[in-house]
Amino acid sequence: LTELLLPLLKNAEEGRIVCVSSKLHEKSGPLDLSTVNSESSYGRLASYTRSKLANVMFARELSRRLSENGVKHVTANSLHPGVVATELHRHLPFKPLMAIADLFMKSEADGAKTSLFLAMATEVKGVSGGFFSDCARRKENPAALDD
């Protein structure tokens, strides 16, 4: 979708690409593209953390390519929305524990704040290639910096 929208963004006055990732990308090791589709090494958590690492890497690489091609008015950043109480948790085991955990999770509105911040805030106009959480820039997993 991002690739399809890029021509429109390049012709706009300003464009912001916001990639939703997760703080759990920090738990991923380096991406080994030779094992991405391996069924023997598949694990739910490992696959999730790798996919979130890939989101951070995508935003960084897109930011780099845009800059190299002189497209300074389009930015790309990634973010961790927080642990948000949504219906996605209905498929997780331990339903009684999840009901308690919901008390400590962000609301959907609070979970959207960093996405909206990156999409609209003047404070991040021109900022590109970063990883954000709670409306502030955070450190990425070193594996995400492996250009």
Whole-number pLDDT of residue 126? 96
Max CA-CA distance within the chain?
A: 52
User: Model confidence over 13-32: pLDDT tens digits?
Assistant: 999 999 999 887 877 877 77
Active site residues: 48
What band does 127 get if pLDDT is binned at 50, 70 and 90? Answer: very high
Q: Does domain 2-140 have CATH number 3.60.20.10?
A: no
Distance of CA 3 to the CA centre of its chain: 16
User: Model confidence over 71-98: pLDDT tens digits?
Assistant: 999 999 999 987 766 666 666 666 666 6
User: Model confidence over 35-76: pLDDT tens digits?
Assistant: 777 777 777 778 888 889 999 999 999 999 999 999 999 999
pTM for this model (two decimals): 0.84
**In the chain, where are the structural domains located?**
2-140
List, edge to edge, every strand of the sheet that includes 136-138. Answer: 15-20, 74-80, 131-133, 136-138
Range 6-11 contact pairs with CB under 8 angstroms and sequence separation of 24 or more: 6/74, 9/74, 10/71, 10/74
Helices (H), the chain: 2-11, 44-68, 95-101, 108-111, 113-120
Of the candidates 61, 106, 56, 102, the residue with the CA atom closest to the CA atom of residue 81: 106
